[in-house]
Each structure stands twice: as C-alpha cells, then as structure tokens.
Amino acid sequence: MNREGLPPVMNEDMLREAVEWAIATRRSVRAFLPTEVPREKIEEILDVARFAATGVNLQPWRVHVVTGSAKDRLCSAIREVDDNPALAAQHQDEWEYYPTEWRSPYIDRRRDVGWNLYGLLGIEKGDKARMHAQHGRNYSFFGAPVGLLFTIDRVMQQGSLLDYGMFMQNIMVAARAHGLSTCPQAAFMKYHKIIAAELGFAPDEKFVVGMSLGHADPEKIENTLVTKRDGVASFAKFYSK
C-alpha cells in the first residue's frame, strides 16, 4: 500500500472485486487453527486499519495484542472466574453494548443466530452446561493464536465509538486480504477488570471489546454458520425530490 495516500495501481474491476470480496467474506469465526500469525502480519493489518475515518482526526483507538504465554495467562485468569458462578456474579459490563429493552426485529435476529449456532453444535435448549462451555470458548479466543483487546480514553464520547467501529471493521476486512479471519467479541466486556489488571491498563483506559484473529478451522461445523442479512430495501430510503 502506498503510504503517501495515492491509490494502488490496479485494474478498476479487479480493485472493486477485491474490496467487495474482503467485505462480503468477513464472518465471525468461532474456531481457529493454532497456526501462528507473525507479528509483522499483525502490524501490517493494524497499519492499514489506522486509515479509518475519525472525527477531527482524534484516532481514539488503543490496541493491546496478546499472543503466546501472555494470552494464555489472560485466558486462564478469566476462565477461572467464569467457571465459578459466585465469582462471575461479581463482574458486569462497564457500559451497555446491547439494548436494555429487546424488541422485534432485534430480539428475533439475536435468537436466530444463537439457536442456529447451537443447532449446528447439537446443543439443545435448556442444556445450560454446554451453553456455558460454548460461551466460555470466547475467553480462549476460540483457539485463535492472536487476541486483540481494544480500549479508549475515558474522556471520549459516543462519536469516538463510531470511529472505533470503522477502525475495527478495517481490521476485519484487512485480515481477509491476508487470508485470516476474525471474531469481534463483546463477551470480554464482563471481565474488563480482570483484563485491565492482567495487562496493566492506565487509569484513563476504558475497555471497549475484544477480537480473535487467526486462520479459520475449515473442519469445524460452527464455521459454516452464515447469518441472514436483510436486503437494501429493508433499511434504505431514497429521496430525489
């Protein structure tokens, strides 16, 4: 990529197809191979992602990258608490990611993705033990060799979270260009205090979300899950007069 801001030299059709392919093939992958991702590749992805749009160039993102034993220690610390109901009950999200009042069509979409995933895995309704185990796989980054934890300065407001979303989308799309997959994870929000303690966050850092990064395991059935996306006509209105 040309860091001077000039577009790459590429056939227009090829460029469009490459960009659209990267966007359309992004999936939330929930099973990864242990194949190592070199630090240089992680840095290349982040180097591209930093060109996300950001209000008055605030660039509010901070990224903590965990691999190897550092990732293992973090995962162990979270799982130890998550597997103990009494300890887990002492933790809660620092901020509301999801609506406090669920209504259609959002509750329907949430249920669909949940039960479609559990259906693939053979987890029946009411099987709390297996549901907990599957949800707990979040805290091992679904086996991915790279974990990304995102924080933001506490003085920032909602607009910077919009910027953050575009930055994270850039990471996920850029990862596809490198043959990698991702899974953004709000599940980590519950244990933000553990993450902050393990990684030594500064007092002004507020946890946003986590993300798994690595090579998708093509043999795992959960990676065949494709969520339904409504067509343009369902969410867009066009005005010409």
Encode the chain (241 residues) as per-residue pLDDT tens digits.
555 566 667 788 898 999 999 999 999 999 999 999 999 999 999 999 999 999 999 999 999 999 999 999 999 999 999 999 999 999 999 999 999 999 999 999 999 999 999 999 999 999 999 999 999 999 999 999 999 999 999 999 999 999 999 999 999 999 999 999 999 999 999 999 999 999 999 999 999 999 999 999 999 999 999 999 999 999 999 999 9
Residue with tokens 């790459």: 8
Q: What is the rounded CA–CA span in Å between residue 4 and residue 159?
A: 27
Q: Bridge partners of 183? A: 212
Closest CA to 152 of 82, 96, 206, 225: 206
Q: What is the rounded CA–CA span in Å between residue 115 and residue 87?
A: 27
Region of 59 please: left (phi>0), alpha (psi -120 to 50) or beta. Answer: left
Q: What is the rounded CA–CA span in Å between residue 115 and residue 6?
A: 46
pTM: 0.94
* 225 and 117 Cβ atoms separated by less than 8 Å: yes
Structure tokens at 235: 């969410």
CB atoms within 10 A of CB 84: 11
